[in-house]
């Protein structure tokens, strides 16, 4: 018998968003002067969403992707209204959400991953596809992204019950695979 153990390399949605933000700053698609405001807004949005999850009743249904998309758009707008972000920074933050969760939807072997087809030629005028159309980076909608986020949260949320009926939740997960040869 062959046994293979693997611990999940789970990365929280906030950590994935922060990683995308840092990557965009490194590549210059987001100005480094915006980093502090965007990072603060991400943390605030994460705190609000985390609070919403902890306040939800155990039998309640998670919000639909459309509801999550609307909630995130509202939270970003609240950051603009509060003066934490400019409207341009809000657009950049929405792009960070889109980029982060479109990568998750594609997975490691997705369209741009190993084994995928090579990229096509640049559009007329010599601009890259990203520069020509900033409104959609991969055709993945924010609703798809939010659905991926919900699934990841559901997979990584575990509730255990004690002998006295009390419950506790855990947000970490690990997986053990036993393969029999």
Tens place of pLDDT per residue across the chain (181 aa): 554 544 556 888 889 999 999 999 999 999 999 999 999 999 999 998 888 776 766 667 887 877 887 888 899 999 999 999 999 999 999 999 888 877 655 554 444 444 455 666 776 765 544 444 444 455 678 878 888 877 777 666 555 555 565 655 555 444 444 444 4
Who contacts 96 (Cβ-Cβ below 8 Å, separation ≥6)? 17, 20, 21, 24, 30, 38, 42
pTM metric for this prediction:
0.52
Q: Delimit the domains of the chain by residue range.
A: 36-47+63-108+137-155
Q: Which residues pair with 72 in a beta bridge?
A: none
Burial class (CB in 10 A: 0-12, 13-18, 19+), 118: exposed
The full DSSP string for 96-158 is HHHHHHHHHHH-TTSTTSTTSPPP-PPPTTS--HHHH-TT-SSS--HHHHHHHHHHHHHHT-E
Q: Which two tokens stand for residue 34?
A: 């915006």
Q: What is the pLDDT of residue 60?
A: 75
Is the distance from CB of 90 to CB of 79 less than 8 angstroms?
A: yes
Q: What is the pLDDT of residue 170?
A: 54
Q: Which two tokens stand for residue 123?
A: 């559009």
Q: What is the pLDDT of residue 141?
A: 82
């Amino acid at each position: 018998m062959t046994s293979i153990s693997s611990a999940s390399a789970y990365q929280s949605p906030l950590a994935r968003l922060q990683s995308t933000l840092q990557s965009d700053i490194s590549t210059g698609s987001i100005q480094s002067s915006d980093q502090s405001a965007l990072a603060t807004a991400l943390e605030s949005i994460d705190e609000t969403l985390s609070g919403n999850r902890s306040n939800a009743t155990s039998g309640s249904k998670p919000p639909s992707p459309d509801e999550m998309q609307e909630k995130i758009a509202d939270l970003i707008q609240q950051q603009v209204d509060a003066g934490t972000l400019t409207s341009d920074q809000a657009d950049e933050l929405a792009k960070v959400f889109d980029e982060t969760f479109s990568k998750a939807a594609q997975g490691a072997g997705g369209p741009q991953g190993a084994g995928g087809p090579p990229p096509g030629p640049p559009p007329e005028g010599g601009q890259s596809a990203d520069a020509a159309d900033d409104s959609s980076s991969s055709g993945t909608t924010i609703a798809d992204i939010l659905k991926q986020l919900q699934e990841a949260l559901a997979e990584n949320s575990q509730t255990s019950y004690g002998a006295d009926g009390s419950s506790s939740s855990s947000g970490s997960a690990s997986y053990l695979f036993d393969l029999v040869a």
